[in-house]
Structure 1
Amino acid sequence: MRHRIIVLGAGYAGAIAAGRLARRLHRDDVAITLVNAESDFVERVRLHQLAVGQDLRPRPLNGMFAGTGVDVRLAKVTGVDVERGTVTVVDADGGRGQEHELEYDTLVYALGSGWSDQGVPGSAEHAHEIASRAGALRLRERLALLDAGRPVVVVGGGLTGLEAATEIAEARPELRVALAARGGLGDWLSPRGRDHLRRVFGRLGITAYEHTEVSGVREDRVVLADGTSIEAAVTVWTTGFAVHPLARATALEVSGSGRIVVDATMRSVSHPDVYAIGDAAQAIGPGDKPLRMSCASGTPMAWQAADAIAARLTGGKLPDVPLRYVNQCVSLGREDGLIQYVTADDRAVRAALTGRLAALYKELVCKGAAWAVAHPLLGIPARRRRVVREPVRPAPAVKASL
């Protein structure tokens, strides 16, 4: 009987993990099932481009994993029972809402995150999000209806907010684009990075409302904590992400934010037959700091988990690769960008790459990430190893930091 591995979620982390497992393990010994609610792989790092009218290349999951030994199941995950080792799903192919139960021996939880309205009144009803393809498409339709001179306000001064504001301003220069940030504009960047960001905002005509607390969203405006407001025909909400709520409903140990607590191999500290990667996982990186929700974290977490699973099944050596950051890549429209180099624990250093060269660098990063997902069996040495034994449910793992 083959060892059953189920991967939940086909974002960057889940899709990469599934492909890497297929490359590491002999298909006669394992059955790998990748469960995802959508039929295509979504390039989440490009959703701000989709929102302004650019078309993204479709990447059907069935085509990507054809011939790999990975079984793609299009379904919505509705429950996980980590005590029984089962996942409950509703198929997305016209199953009339009927639930099915899948059994696993090893589970890779990669359901990721969605947008968070932070509990701000009116944000869920009146603001647009670009954390999902559906949200980006809704924003795309709304922006297309705006006449010249209409105001667009992006709330949130993080990487997603900067990319959304600059993309909209570049694609639609006739609109009045503003960004409201709780802190200073790019205050985590190096002086060189901040200076470049301000120059780009000036060139694109983006108004920055710094040190601004948003207390409410209305249909036609953003309300600030001091009682004033900013006119907004469209509000784009980019204040952070919230993880999928499913993990909190299980017996898995989770953090206060609902992320699954894992050790250095991405293994759950409470249920060793479960691994968590990407935004769904609370992994500790350099400086004893949790890894931030990002593609930059999710991809190496997927490598680590897949290699650890393969090692444990085949009697190989566990991976001992520290997860660290190198840079933060920010697109500032199609013609400009910012590559902020950082320490291992994600703090900005003096060096930064800016301008057209930085835009090309970011584009290569995006293309490389999509290529790695779309070609899951290429670029990895063929080291398929046989499973040496069918492991029993192991004892709880010991917490460890990276």
Structure 2
Amino acid sequence: MAAGTRVVVIGGGFAGVMAANRLTQRDDVAVTMVNPRPDFVIRLRLHHVVAGVHDAVAPYRQVLAEGVRLVQDTVTAVDAAQRRVTLLGGGTLGYDYLVYAAGSASAEPRVPGAAEFAHPMATLEAARRLRAILDDRPPATPVTVVGAGPTGIETAAELAERGQRVSLVCGDALGAYLHPTARRAAARSLTRIGVDVLAGPGTEVTEVTRDAVRLEDGRTLPSAITVWTAGFGVPDLATRSGLRTDAIGRLITDETLTSVDDERIVAAGDSAAPSGVPYRMSAYTASCLGAHAADTVLRRIAGTTCEPASVFFGAMCVGLGSHAGIYQLAGRDDIANRMFVGGRLGARLKALTYRFAVGHLTREARRPGSHRWLGNNSRRRLLQAQPGPGLAAAERPA
């Protein structure tokens, strides 16, 4: 490949920043990252924005390598044939390789009334709007948080600690990933700080109104403010650009993270579906996949063999307010086991995840190529267990 290889990175989240930083290992690679915001959003802290305890942003000069050109804009189309992207602000950017790290957001809720009366918080702007609404209401205003994944749990806990009357509607289990033993510990911690946890059969939301939430079992919960954390979606950029995606729009790649349509396009983070079997979402996963996406591009430039991605999930951490947390351990199959750390030590471990998540990026910015992570030997077995085309995609030549 001739000197001056152009790489465009779509998205400035954990995956995009890590990929951009790692690509600067080669002086003959020109890296441009396109992102709509001027600052880096620490998405795993958006519940802190809602609670008013952290702004969840960092300047890009802190996390992005000096050699990366930042373009504040939004990509509206990818033209794989012409190797260029179209920008919302006008004009195009040509590329030799493209890293697709477009990220994720909330899915449009299908529950009657939810789109009109419930408040999402999956983006910085949405979290700030919700914070402003909470600031205009008395502390004891009843708040219902719908969705019991990490975001819902952490949001409910933070708001309850600050005096809100909070109900957490799980729809099924509290923290579905957690081992039942850890789940019970989490429920006790939430109850102690005043969260009314509604879990199990009948807790699916059937309707949201201006001042209430109705459940499948017939209960009606007073809710002056309803926070919607259930559901997941990704930008439809890949789909609109004619690239193959899964059912919700994630770019389908092989196990090297290369698009099954074009070897010049490599994906990472929440908007990637390797072999049609996405990795579990987290900032750590996004960073590791971003690093691997960069390695795939660098190997192609160098003319060497690309390797399959592999990320080992050893744990998941959930905050339960400022004084408690659950650090859930897992096996190499990414299934939670009975071992967990709770209470104040769990809270301290959760606080460390915020530091480490951003720290991985800043270290890679200073020393490109330094990020290391453990692989997962169980990935192959997971793919073999999947019906449909997943394994065929996994076996696509590098």
What residue in structure 2 maps to residue 264 of structure 1?
255
Q: 1:346 to 1:382 in 2, by over 3 A?
A: closer
Residues 69-114 of structure 1 deviation map (CA, whole Å, 9 limit, x = unaligned): 11100011111112221111134xxxxxxx2111111010111111
Q: 1:327 to 1:379 in 2, by over 3 A?
A: farther
Q: 1:195 to 1:291 in 2, by over 3 A?
A: same
What residue in structure 2 maps to residue 387 of structure 1?
none
Contact 2:152 2:168 in 1 (8 A): yes
Q: 1:88 to 1:289 in 2, by over 3 A?
A: closer
What residue in structure 2 maps to residue 16 of structure 1?
18
Q: TM-score with structure 1 length normalisation? A: 0.87
SS in 1 for 2:263: coil
What residue in structure 1 maps to residue 319 of structure 2?
331
What residue in structure 1 maps to residue 172 of structure 2?
183
SS in 2 for 1:307: helix
Which of the numbers 388, 397, 400 marks the counterpart of 2:394?
A: 400
Please tell me the residue identity of whatever aligns with 1:60: P
Alpha-carbon shift at residue 248 of structure 1 (Å): 1.1
What residue in structure 1 maps to residue 365 of structure 2?
377
Alpha-carbon shift at residue 63 of structure 1 (Å): 5.5
Q: How does 1:278-297 map to 2 (within 5 A)?
A: 278-284=269-275, 289-297=277-285
What residue in structure 2 maps to residue 49 of structure 1?
48
**Larger displacement relative to structure 2 (313-322 or 302-311):** 313-322
Alpha-carbon shift at residue 58 of structure 1 (Å): 4.3
Q: Does 1:206 align with 2:195?
A: yes
2:355 & 2:63 partners in 1: Cα distance? 15
Please tell me the residue identity of whatever aligns with 1:350: R
Q: TM-score with structure 2 length normalisation? A: 0.88
SS in 2 for 1:243: coil
Alpha-carbon shift at residue 126 of structure 1 (Å): 1.4
1:366 & 1:148 partners in 2: Cα distance? 27
Contact 2:111 2:206 in 1 (8 A): yes
User: Unaligned stretches of 5+ in structure 2?
Assistant: 372-391
Aligned-pair Cα RMSD in Å = 2.2
Q: 1:215 to 1:83 in 2, by over 3 A?
A: farther
Q: How many residues align?
A: 372
Alpha-carbon shift at residue 167 of structure 1 (Å): 1.2
What residue in structure 2 maps to residue 243 of structure 1?
234
Please tell me the residue identity of whatever aligns with 2:306: L
Q: 1:50 to 1:401 in 2, by over 3 A?
A: farther
User: Unaligned stretches of 5+ in structure 1?
Assistant: 92-98, 384-397
Percent identical across equivalent pairs?
37
Q: How does 1:65-104 map to 2 (within 5 A)?
A: 65=64, 67=66, 69-91=67-89, 99-104=90-95
Please tell me the residue identity of whatever aligns with 1:181: C
Q: 1:316 to 1:152 in 2, by over 3 A?
A: same
Q: How does 1:127-206 map to 2 (within 5 A)?
A: 127-170=118-161, 172-173=162-163, 175-206=164-195
Which of the numbers 340, 343, 353 marks the counterpart of 1:355?
A: 343
Contact 1:39 1:62 in 2 (8 A): no
What residue in structure 2 maps to residue 6 of structure 1?
8
Please tell me the residue identity of whatever aligns with 2:175: G
Q: How does 1:24-35 map to 2 (within 5 A)?
A: 25-26=26-27, 29-35=28-34
